[in-house]
């Protein structure tokens, strides 16, 4: 009897041990699989990164390179190409491609500023920018490469730097870079970007060991060659304070070619090159919320004593006449009134005015329908609402149609 009990207990114990061993084996098998998959993911992620940079190099070589002319050195890095000008201590242009991968990119600034070893004569370094009062401004923006740590690191070569005033580099220029990336994210298509300073003789220079010219203006060219609607646009901005909306700086690629003497996208078929280089329709690059805005009026378009919408913020709590184009009309909740945007639509508005419901009776016409798309001048006290200039109008005498002003 005792032997039977012993055998029974041994059988149960063995069963438990076997069961535990079987479960442990399954756990080990699952862990090994995860490790294998993780190793495979790392391998293919790295391989994919290399393939994408190969694609970028092929695309730039086939379509994106400007015509090489004048003194300089063509440098081809993995994620960008540039034409380095030793005389000016920077590249005449840098061309790269922004991939939709930036939408999910996780790489952050590397800040590994370094001299470009591919340039035999040597590039400027930290000592040449130190205490100069200028930022080491990226031509090809580092955030354009956040899909790849290796590509992002390349953007910190001094061959990709140019002396930019802080208010420019961190202001409107940064907004322009954001604008281009947003287009790539929303269109889900890659775009070519060419960037440089307008380099001329007799520019101011900085630098202790290497002289670096300080451009007065910078340009950025964007070209989308995807699908049937191939298009291009360019921007030129002052290396300083720029106060107007981004669209105010839009120009044709032809315009940049005239001031730089550079033939961009020279490898494209002539008909296509001619067509996209004449374009500067900003609406083609805006999403539905942004589309419909117009450039603020220039000084020569304004009646005497009037200001444009950009300058309105300088006149808070003062009476002024502000001129612009009505681009949006929004009825407030419970129809308490109507808000009108001049030049730029919400949420990118730069100036607005309100006609409250109680004052509608003071108009001989329906302002909501009549004012839309009209160039007008309004007079009143400029207030502030959510850090934007605004005005309240009580009757139609506060509004003058600009065409009427011109006819006087």
Q: What is the CATH number of the domain that holds 360?
A: 2.40.50.140
- Say yes or no to pLDDT of 340 above 70: yes
33 Cα distance to chain centroid:
42
173 Cα distance to chain centroid:
8
Which DSSP string corresponds to 301-358? GSPTT-EETTGGGGGTTSEEEEEEEEEEEEEPGGG-EEEEEESS-TTS-S-EEEEEGG
The band of 260, judged by pLDDT with boundaries at 50, 70 and 90, is very high
- Quick check: is 18 in a domain? yes
Confidence (pLDDT) at 14: 53
- Quick check: is 140 in a domain? yes
Residue recorded with tokens 């000084």: 299
Q: pTM, whole model, 2 decimals?
A: 0.82
- Say yes or no to pLDDT of 27 above 90: no
- Say yes or no to pLDDT of 408 above 50: no
Are 91 and 19 in a shared domain? no
- Say yes or no to pLDDT of 96 above 60: yes
| CA-based end-to-end distance of the chain | 124
Across residues 108-114, what is the average pLDDT? 90
Confidence (pLDDT) at 123: 95
Pair of tokens at residue 196: 């440089």
Confidence (pLDDT) at 5: 54
Buried b (16+ CB within 10 A) or exposed e, 112-123: eeeebeebeeeb
Are 109 and 171 in a shared domain? yes
Are 10 and 83 in a shared domain? no
User: Residue 346 belongs to what domain range?
Assistant: 299-407
Are 69 and 55 in a shared domain? no
The band of 136, judged by pLDDT with boundaries at 50, 70 and 90, is very high
- Quick check: is 292 in a domain? no
């Amino acid at each position: 009897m005792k032997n039977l009990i012993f055998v029974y207990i041994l059988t149960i114990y063995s069963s438990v041990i076997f069961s535990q061993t079987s479960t442990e084996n399954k756990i080990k098998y699952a862990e090994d699989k995860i490790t294998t998959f993780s190793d495979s993911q790392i391998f293919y992620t790295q391989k994919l990164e290399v393939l994408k940079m190969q694609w970028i190099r092929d695309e730039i070589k086939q379509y994106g390179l400007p015509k090489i002319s004048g003194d300089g050195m063509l440098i081809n890095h993995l994620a960008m190409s540039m034409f380095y000008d030793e005389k000016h201590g920077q590249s005449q242009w840098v061309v790269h491609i922004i991939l939709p991968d930036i939408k999910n990119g996780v790489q952050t600034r590397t800040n590994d500023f370094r001299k470009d070893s591919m340039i035999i004569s040597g590039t400027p370094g930290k000592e040449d920018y130190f205490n100069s009062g200028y930022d080491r401004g990226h031509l090809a923006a580092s955030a354009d490469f956040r899909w790849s740590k290796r590509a992002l690191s390349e953007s910190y070569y001094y061959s990709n730097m140019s002396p930019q005033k802080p208010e420019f580099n961190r202001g409107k220029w940064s907004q322009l870079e954001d604008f281009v990336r947003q287009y790539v994210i929303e269109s889900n298509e890659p775009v070519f970007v060419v960037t440089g300073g307008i380099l001329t003789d007799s520019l101011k220079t900085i630098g202790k060991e290497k002289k670096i010219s300080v451009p007065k203006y910078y340009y950025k060219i964007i070209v989308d060659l995807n699908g049937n609607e191939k298009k291009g646009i360019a921007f030129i901005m002052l290396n300083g304070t720029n106060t107007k909306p981004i669209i105010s700086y839009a120009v044709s690629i032809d315009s940049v070619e005239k001031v730089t003497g550079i033939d961009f996208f020279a490898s494209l078929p002539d008909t296509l090159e001619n067509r996209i280089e004449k374009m500067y329709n900003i609406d083609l690059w805006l999403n539905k919320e942004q589309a419909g805005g117009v450039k603020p009026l220039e000084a020569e378009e304004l009646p005497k004593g009037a200001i444009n919408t950009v300058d309105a913020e300088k006149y808070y709590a003062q009476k002024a006449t502000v001129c612009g184009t009505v681009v949006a009309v929004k009825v407030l909740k419970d129809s308490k009134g109507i808000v009108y945007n001049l030049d730029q639509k919400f949420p990118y508005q730069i100036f607005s005015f309100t006609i409250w419901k109680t004052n509608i009776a003071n108009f001989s016409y329906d302002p909501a329908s009549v004012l839309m798309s009209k160039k007008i001048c309004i007079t009143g006290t400029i207030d502030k609402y959510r850090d934007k200039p605004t005005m309240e109008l009580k009757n139609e005498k506060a509004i003058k149609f600009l065409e009427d002003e011109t006819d006087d």
